[in-house]
Amino acid sequence: MALVVYDQGYPIKTPVSALFKPRGVDELTEPRRSASLPGSDDIARDEAHALEQAFVNAERQHARRRLPSAPDNPDSPTTYESVSRFSGPERRKRGLTAQQLLVAPVYTTTLQATLRSAANLMREHGVHHLVITDDERRPLGLISETDILPHGEDSMLPVSEAYQQQIVVAALDTELSVLANTFVNYPIRAIPVVDADEHLVGIITRSDLLRLLINNARVESWA
């Protein structure tokens, strides 16, 4: 699974593009950018590619350092088997994944909780999103400060009246390029991450990804 749309806790086959309005649609009403300067989204896309490529290069160097020295018998099958693990068509280029980027623990709430309690939880932990989960920690939706604002931070309405029922969810092996393209192209600011059993294990926000890119993370330590 790369990215899947969840509707009230259930994965659906509807593509992201069918549910979320692309960012490019609004560009017609925005001031024209200078042709000589790249936009922030262009920079984010380029940095994501550069970061992923740096990880691949670091991984290759790490693999070469770990190759065993050749034994006395050059015809030994051990030599071929060791080298083949790092070369040939079966060696696929890998990049950063959601498992390496996610933030945990994830702060959660329930559909029955009040907007006031959700707002207090966000403020207490300095976060902007909460994942709504069921008793088995399956993601049912998201609620953000923006969702609460129209009702007021002291509202006693339940979260079920204001939460985002349709959300994009990532698997642990979802690659950085997929996450970056989603944040760049759609008005999505947080993506929960689930394991193989669809249990919530982390979250990645647009701010987390941009902070990683801006800080030029030392990806060689992850190889």
pLDDT tens across 109-167, in order? 999 999 999 999 999 999 999 999 999 999 999 999 999 999 999 999 999 999 999 99
In a domain, 82, yes or no: no
CB 145 within 8 A of CB 122: yes
In a domain, 46, yes or no: yes
Domain that holds residue 163: 3-14+42-64+94-217
**Distance, CA of 1 to CA of 12 (rounded, Å):** 12
In a domain, 159, yes or no: yes
In a domain, 53, yes or no: yes
Q: pLDDT tens digits for the chain (223 residues)?
A: 678 889 888 788 777 776 676 765 444 344 444 344 344 445 445 555 655 555 455 445 544 544 444 444 444 333 333 333 333 444 344 578 999 989 999 999 999 999 999 999 999 999 999 999 999 999 999 999 999 999 999 999 999 999 999 999 999 999 988 998 898 888 899 999 999 999 999 999 988 888 877 765 544 444 4
Please give the C-alpha separations between residue 218 and each of 71, 171, 221, 223, in angstroms, as whole numbers. Answer: 34, 23, 6, 10
Alpha-carbon Rg for the chain, nearest whole angstrom, is 22
In a domain, 204, yes or no: yes
In a domain, 103, yes or no: yes
The domain that holds 139 is classified in CATH as 3.10.580.10
**Cα pseudo-dihedral 132, 134, 138, 142, rounded to 10:** -10
In a domain, 136, yes or no: yes
Location of structure tokens 């290759």: 60
In a domain, 190, yes or no: yes
Number of domains in the chain: 1
